Structure 1
């Protein structure tokens, strides 16, 4: 399926430009709006991996947007820089959620996007972002995370309406199995419909083909696992089809 891509610029109240990346299926239009999926990148920003992910989603028939939560289209391959940017936005999580809401609104306002059928997927830091968007009761029907950070901005309450799919690597040294248990308790407390898939021999970052290179360059415990990446992607696509159509 051929697709079209463009930058979606959302301007915050204090004038910061969020330069997100949108991919649409060729047939999507005002007369034929399609379900939309938000993509929250890893801490590197809107680099090649999230862009490729939005394009892959568009080829599968979804409208998709890789969210620029840092603003100004900032991206990096340096873990220290990524960590600094991530820490900065996490210091003001209200601002972070305001930015996500702004991008969601601008994306769902696109005539080719069916604003009643929105989902979100997040990788690592982005996993926390999409779960927090659901915790904030943004209009998402389905949220999926890949090696996502599960710790909440604030614990889920009855306003959490999204279905959840978590793809977690058993060998993830950044998000432990204890963190997964805590997440289950949080979801169970408010009856969220969730599924957690744990992949053997999978480390943090297991879906990113650049993970090994980044790990070596930055001395951090990341690793790509082709089998886990493929299986978790296929499971996510089934999950979105079930919940978004």
Structure 2
């Protein structure tokens, strides 16, 4: 199947260029627009992993965009640098959400994308980003997180209308089971429809094939788990099919 990929440049009010990566399925057009999925990367930025996620989504029939929330296409394999950039954007979460909304709008404006039929998936830091997009009432029908940080910008309320799928590793030392239970309570209070899947022997970053290499380089507790990665991907595709078609 041949997919089409290109950079999508969104310019913020202060002139920052957000360099996102779009993958479109074969046959998507103005006459036949595809449901869209926004991909919020791990704290490394739009590196190979989120790009390949966008491409795999396009192969599955979805238009997808890996979102550059840092701006200027910044990416790194250094955890200290990644943490600095993440903390910079988290210091102004309204700005972060404004960037996500801008990318969402620019992506929705693509003729091959059905802007009325959108989902979002996020990895680690990106898990927080996509949950916050739903908490901020962006027009997203379904949100999936993989080893995501669930800490809220503000707690979910009646404006949170997306369905939620959470893929969490039981051996994750960075996002605790207590944090996941906190998310459960938050979503229950807002009457959100959600599913939480917990994968045994799966560490933080379990979906990323580069996790072991990054763990060794940065002395952080990450690990790839092929079984959990494959199962959580299949579950996410089923979830998106049920909610986006």
> How much does 1:26 deviate?
1.9
Q: Residues of 1 paired with 2:243 and 2:148: CA distance? A: 20
Q: Say how many residue pairs are matched.
A: 245
> How much does 1:195 deviate?
0.2
Q: Can you give the 5+ residue segments of structure 1 that lack an aligned partner in the other structure?
A: none
Q: Residues of 1 paired with 2:58 and 2:87: CA distance? A: 31
**Secondary structure at the counterpart of residue 195 of structure 1:** strand
Q: Which residue of 2 aligns with 1:39?
A: 39
What's the TM-score, normalizing by structure 2? 1.00
Q: Over aligned residue pairs, what C-alpha RMSD do you find?
A: 0.3
Q: Which residue of 2 aligns with 1:116?
A: 116
Q: Which residue of 2 aligns with 1:16?
A: 16
> How much does 1:152 deviate?
0.2
Q: Report 1:1-245 matches (<5 A).
A: 1-245=1-245
What does the per-residue CA deviation read over 1:155-204, in whole Å, with 9 as the maximum and x for residues that have no partner?
00100000000000000001000001111000000110000000000000
What does the per-residue CA deviation read over 1:83-104, in whole Å, with 9 as the maximum and x for residues that have no partner?
0000000000000000000000
> How much does 1:141 deviate?
0.2
**Secondary structure at the counterpart of residue 119 of structure 2:** strand
Q: Residues of 2 paired with 1:149 and 1:190: CA distance? A: 19
**Secondary structure at the counterpart of residue 195 of structure 2:** strand
Q: Can you give the 5+ residue segments of structure 2 that lack an aligned partner in the other structure?
A: none
Q: Residues of 1 paired with 2:74 and 2:48: CA distance? A: 13
Q: Residues of 1 paired with 2:138 and 2:29: CA distance? A: 24
**Secondary structure at the counterpart of residue 149 of structure 2:** coil
Q: Residues of 2 paired with 1:25 and 1:121: CA distance? A: 17
> How much does 1:9 deviate?
0.2
**Secondary structure at the counterpart of residue 157 of structure 2:** coil
Q: Residues of 2 paired with 1:203 and 1:76: CA distance? A: 21
What's the TM-score, normalizing by structure 1? 1.00
Q: Residues of 2 paired with 1:36 and 1:168: CA distance? A: 24
**Secondary structure at the counterpart of residue 38 of structure 1:** strand
Q: Residues of 2 paired with 1:26 and 1:230: CA distance? A: 23
Q: Which 4+ residue blocks in structure 1 deviate beyond 2 angstroms?
A: none
